[in-house]
Structure 1
Amino acid sequence: MLKNHLKIAWRNLRRNSLFSLINVLGLSIGLASTFLIFFWVTDEMSVDKFHENNDRLYQVMMRSEENGIVKIHDGTQGPLAEALEKDLPEVENAVTVMNLQEVGMSITFSAGENNFKTQGLFASSNFFDVFSFPLVYGDASQVLNKKEAVVVSESFAVKLFGSVEKAINSPIEYFMFGQNQTAQISGVFKDTPDNSTMKFSFVATKQKLLEDMWTNGKEWGNTGPNTYITLKDNSDVKAFESKIDRFVDKYNEGNMFSLFLRKYADTYLYGNYKDGIQTGGRITYIKLFSFIGLLVLLIACINFMNLSTARVTKRFKEIGIKKTVGGTKNHLVVQFLTESLFLALLSLIVAMLLIVFLMPVFNFITGKNLGLTLIFEHLGVLTLATIITGLIAGSYPAFYLSRFSPLATLKGKFKSKGGELLARKGLVVFQFTASLILIIAVLIISDQINYAINKPIGYQKGHMVQIDLEGKAFEQSSSFFDEIEKVDGVESVGAISESIISEDGGSSTYGIDWAGKPDNLEIDFVFRNVNHNLVQTMNIQMADGDTFSKEMGDLESYLLFNEEAIRLMGLQNPVGKKVRLWGEEKVILGVMKNFHTASVLHSISPVVFRCSPMGHSLAMVRVKSGEEANTLASMNEVFEKFNPGYDFSYTFQDQAYNLQYLTEQRILSLSRYFAILAIFISCLGLFGLAAFNTETRIKEIGIRKVLGSSTYQILSLLSSDFMRLIGLSILLGLPIAYYVMSDWLLKFEYRVDISWSSFFLSSILTVAVALITISFQALKAAHANPVKSLRTE
């Protein structure tokens, strides 16, 4: 029986090749889109969940209330991990981690003549006991026991020494915080997996960092490193959080921070907070694209159902004969479901071919490294999903076709009922409503990203090159700047302690006091050490007072604040007033106009600049427009003169700024492609329905042409019903799109107003695409020879 059903399915597929092609193409595109999103979602959901202690691994977070706003901090006190492990029996392990990637730092390691720049961590000795990064060589509990020890990745060991074996116990040098450091490789770990948020090529010891390079990190009054803990089995997390709420008071009485826990694996997906409340994160995009994937697949299923039910008249006699000779309703249902599954499985094969072809492009758009092995790993899931899709798509046609009366079908007197026509039209409306919403979303997301990238941010980011200072370029920075300024194409050179761009603000301080400061006022100032020329180089405008100048004496006695800082401080006529920075008296030299230190997701931060001749890790160089390539080549020569063998590491400031919107840009790209797919699949179905509608009215069209109807009249006749459905889709889609996108824009502190031009353009585009799709069949019918259509039976 199954063989007979498959034979009939194949014959119907060949007999109705156009409609079968539309069904297979639409369903395969829907399946391919959904499966690609499934692979992406699966990868996103796996991030940071590979650690053996995943269920018991937490990050210790800090909460503070500042000027009525609750702020969340992931940086903690350097001694916190040791204190938690010592004082609280629930803590199995606690580890301190200083991640250089989070502060935008990279350092150059040297082994003989080999010099390579990379990023890494400084961590407690139990780091590899807490986190499951497998060691190729070394014991997890021993490799970081010595202060000078450093553990490197496999690939980094090979880059430096040629092989892992040669790297073991070899000495290595690096430059950090203005000091040359030596270390010895005590172990090698496997390269960090793609689904890890921690990306690093080395792990050095916490003791080295806090005892030799950043001694302030040992103080309870300073924050910066991350603290992670594993709780013992069966620990009550809620009770433990209550226990640590004011834990820091024990070591730093009167501090403003309270502690709480965040599951480590939740950091990636649930990393956003607003006024102290967790407000989502990347999980929002996962939900969004899961919905879009299912929506695209649903649109493809709707095509299948619409075309199957629309062509019911072609199978009336077949159904009638089968019922007359004893065929039951169940028999017919099985037959039609078999045909549906046959087409679905055929679509699965085409979908897999599409995935093979599209996977490299998909990886490029999403920044992933998904492999084709995913198809085989999830083949069972993909097949099951396809079968379910086939059953859902074929269920309505199967039950609908099988209920016909054999007498009515054999006489050819059966007509589609109003309910069936209404359902078919409703499905068309749903398809185009969903497609319209996606098109509007793409336009508004594009407007917001373009606004964010092009919005004036308070300084001139174009033609600005950021150079990492290290080695002798750091030690002899004044000489290095003098040489760089002599390069043709260089307009100005400034220096800063770390990048001005940081989502969490980077280095900051609460340590500023002034006369009249309220006791309960706490301001977290973004803090940077700069040289005398940084403000002019970045073209930061002054609102009041003066900026730093080389001719001024004792520059370290002065500070520059931005307008937001002065507003929060409540100072009137601030220039010339005295403040205290960490207990030292300073004078407000000037007030800078506000500028962004993060993306437009965040509000303007209070900023303070201190002029210092040393301690700058970055040179900011403004170059002439159109001369970037030659200027960079010349600057590279200067850099090599100071640091032979070092990599010349630089970044264009506008590119660094735009990277803040990388996630949104990827979302835009994905949304754009899926919107195109949705409208394409919808048009496939519309094309099929238009073809069928034309086919069933071929004699009517012939008669109308004989009686004198024009091509325009025929076109209007065949397209009017469909265009009314598109108009209804627009009326339904516009308010839904407005509501959805208004809610999405709320995540941005600075955002565009929703322009009605987006709605107008989307509506026109939808109408135009639909009209072109319908017109192809309508014009074909209008230009056909009426004599031939009237003679044909």
Structure 2
Amino acid sequence: MLRHQLTLAFRSFMKFKKIFAINLFGLAIGLTTVILIMLWVRDELSISRNHEKIDRIYAVMTNHDNSGGIVTIGITPGDMAEAMKAELPQVELAAGASNFIEGVTFANEHTKMTGAGLFVDQAYFDIFDVDFVEGNPSQVMTGINSLAISETLATKLFGSAKEALGKSVKWQVFDFTNEVEITGVYQDFGSREVDKPDYFLSFSYFKQMLGEGNHWDNYNASAYVLLRPDTDVEAFNEQIAGFIKGKEESSNVTPFVQAYGDTYLYGTYEDGKIAGGRISYVKLFSAIALFILIIACINFMNLTTARSMSRLKEIGVKKSMGASRGGLFGQFMVESLLLTFFALVLAILATYALQPFFNQVTSKTLSMSFQPELLLILVGIWLLTSFLAGIYPAVYLSKFKPVQVMKSTVKGSFGELLARKGLVVFQFAISLLLIIGISVIGKQMAFIQNQNLGYNQSHLVQINASGVGPSQLNSFLAELRKSPGVENAASLSHPLIGLNSSTIGLTWEGKNPDEQVKFENVAVNMELIETMGFELVDG
């Protein structure tokens, strides 16, 4: 029976070649767009979730109740993780981490290079999955002079991961220098992790570097906790609300924990509560993919029903010979399944061809690896598209009565005409919404790109000078200014935007002593105002 229906489907395709080609390529283009968006959405939903204990890993966030409102950041005092582990029975493990001091330079006898990494303690490797190729993961960060590096960094410094293990290297940042031993080499982090550190240094040494700056009113680290099974997270957040205030009476900070797997997608906060984030883009593009799929299916429906008059004799003869409505329905659904399958194959081939361009646009490394999960998604898209595209034509064509067909007295009802026109109107309405949405986004992007940020962006170049020590900085800038084409040069300790280093310890005449105002502070060099073209309001 199936073989017979497949034969009939192929004959129908060959008989109506133009309609077949239009349907095929229309569906293929729609499915290509859907698959590309699906790959992007799937990648977004999987970021920061590839850890065995992900259901129990939480990041400690802090709400700062300042004069301008509540500011939420994922930064805590340096002793936060250790104190939570010691005082809260719900906490099975706690780890401190910090990238507060960026641009650490590593050097051996022959090579000197800079990497981006984290200061962590041993518990970090017991909470998160880090795949070591050399060294013992359970002891990799037990010493204050321990260093774990990625395979890439190990290869650049020593030629291979095996050669790197046990070797000593010197590292420097600002005026801090130390000699450490490589106790572990781990696989490079994949694209589904937000942080991809080149190295891990001892968190204990980081706190030692802070010295007197390591106190409960200085926020310079992140804290991660592994909660015990069946912990009531809401009750736990209520319990720790006054945790920092209990250590620092004047503090205006309220901590809470957020599922680590949600921190990437839900990173926007309002009044101290989660208010969305990148999840909004995931929902938006998922809706766009669904609309595009519906538009492609409506094209299929309209073209199929539009040529229904040319298939009336076929239907009439089959019904006269005893074909049931269910049999005809099955035949038309087989045609839909077959055509959609061909369109899906073309869409997969087009996706492979467009992957490099799409990855460049999205800054990702997406790939069509046929894993069971992806195959199930593709099969689901195929079946859903086949059903959406084929259900109405199958019902419409299989309902005709043989007597009406043979006498050519078939007339479309007002309801059928209204349904077809309604589909066309719906299709154009969705298209118009997408066009308007793209236009608005384009204008927003143009606004962002042309917005005056308060400094002159033209011919401004940023150079990572993390390998230059404080004592060498003035000489380095002086040499830069002598370079041909360089009008001026200056330095600053960290980017001007974002929360990097702040203080609430400023006071002035008439200030309300109960009001806490957070000031972002940046260490800068001479000539910065002239170099960046700041316009002074006063002074």
Fold agreement, TM-score > 0.5: yes
Whole-angstrom CA distance in 2 between matches of 1:472 and 1:364: 32
Task: Give yes or no for the alignment of 1:324 onto 2:320.
Answer: yes
Aligned match of 1:164: 161
Q: CA deviation at 1:216?
A: 4.3
Unpaired runs of at least 5, structure 2:
none
Larger radius of gyration: 1
Whole-angstrom CA distance in 1 between matches of 2:275 and 2:317: 62
Task: Give yes or no for the alignment of 1:461 onto 2:467.
Answer: no
Task: Give yes or no for the alignment of 1:387 onto 2:380.
Answer: no
| Structure of greater relative contact order (alpha carbons < 8 Å, 6+ residues apart) | 2
Aligned match of 1:238: 234
1:317-466 matches, within 5 Å, as 317-374=313-370, 378-466=374-462
Residue identity matched to 1:519? P
Whole-angstrom CA distance in 2 between matches of 1:408 and 1:375: 51
Where 1:482 maps in the other structure, the secondary structure is helix
Whole-angstrom CA distance in 2 between matches of 1:59 and 1:81: 10
Residue identity matched to 1:245? A
Q: CA deviation at 1:492?
A: 1.8
Whole-angstrom CA distance in 2 between matches of 1:217 and 1:416: 82
Aligned match of 1:132: 129
8 A contact 1:69–1:275 mirrored in 2:
yes
Whole-angstrom CA distance in 1 between matches of 2:290 and 2:187: 37
Instruction: Report Cα offsets for 1:171-212 as digits up to 9, x if no partner.
Output: 11122022332211011111112111121010000122121x
Counterparts in 2 of 1:36 and 1:486: CA distance versus 1, 3 Å: closer
Aligned match of 1:186: 183
Where 1:152 maps in the other structure, the secondary structure is strand
Whole-angstrom CA distance in 2 between matches of 1:463 and 1:437: 39
Instruction: Report Cα offsets for 1:373-392 as digits up to 9, x if no partner.
Output: 14775223312331232122
Task: Give yes or no for the alignment of 1:544 onto 2:530.
Answer: no
Aligned match of 1:511: 505
Task: Give yes or no for the alignment of 1:39 onto 2:39.
Answer: yes
Residue identity matched to 2:392? Y
Q: CA deviation at 1:471?
A: 4.6
Residue identity matched to 1:528? V
Q: CA deviation at 1:505?
A: 2.8
Whole-angstrom CA distance in 2 between matches of 1:261 and 1:376: 34
8 A contact 1:97–1:225 mirrored in 2:
yes
8 A contact 1:178–1:470 mirrored in 2:
no
1:573-584 matches, within 5 Å, as none
Whole-angstrom CA distance in 1 between matches of 2:83 and 2:504: 23
Counterparts in 2 of 1:34 and 1:216: CA distance versus 1, 3 Å: farther
Residue identity matched to 2:54? N
Aligned match of 2:206: 209
Structure (1/2) with the larger helix percentage: 1
1:448-597 matches, within 5 Å, as 448-471=444-467, 474-500=470-496, 502=497, 504-545=498-539
Whole-angstrom CA distance in 1 between matches of 2:357 and 2:373: 20
Task: Give yes or no for the alignment of 1:254 onto 2:250.
Answer: yes
Residue identity matched to 2:153? F
Whole-angstrom CA distance in 1 between matches of 2:489 and 2:532: 9
RMSD: 1.7
Where 2:252 maps in the other structure, the secondary structure is coil
Counterparts in 2 of 1:79 and 1:350: CA distance versus 1, 3 Å: same
Whole-angstrom CA distance in 2 between matches of 1:72 and 1:463: 34
Aligned match of 1:13: 13
Residue identity matched to 1:185? I
Where 2:537 maps in the other structure, the secondary structure is strand
Aligned match of 1:155: 152
Unpaired runs of at least 5, structure 1:
546-793
Whole-angstrom CA distance in 2 between matches of 1:295 and 1:221: 50
Whole-angstrom CA distance in 2 between matches of 1:291 and 1:136: 42
Where 2:96 maps in the other structure, the secondary structure is strand
Whole-angstrom CA distance in 2 between matches of 1:375 and 1:305: 32
Q: CA deviation at 1:473?
A: 5.2
Residue identity matched to 2:343? S
Q: CA deviation at 1:495?
A: 2.3
Residue identity matched to 2:457? K
8 A contact 1:122–1:206 mirrored in 2:
yes
Q: CA deviation at 1:426?
A: 1.3
Aligned match of 1:49: 49
Match of 1:114 among 98, 105, 111: 111
Q: CA deviation at 1:275?
A: 2.6
Task: Give yes or no for the alignment of 1:77 onto 2:77.
Answer: yes
Whole-angstrom CA distance in 2 between matches of 1:419 and 1:244: 63
Residue identity matched to 1:544? D
Whole-angstrom CA distance in 2 between matches of 1:3 and 1:514: 87
Where 2:76 maps in the other structure, the secondary structure is coil
Residue identity matched to 1:422? L
Count of matched residue pairs: 539
Whole-angstrom CA distance in 2 between matches of 1:464 and 1:337: 61
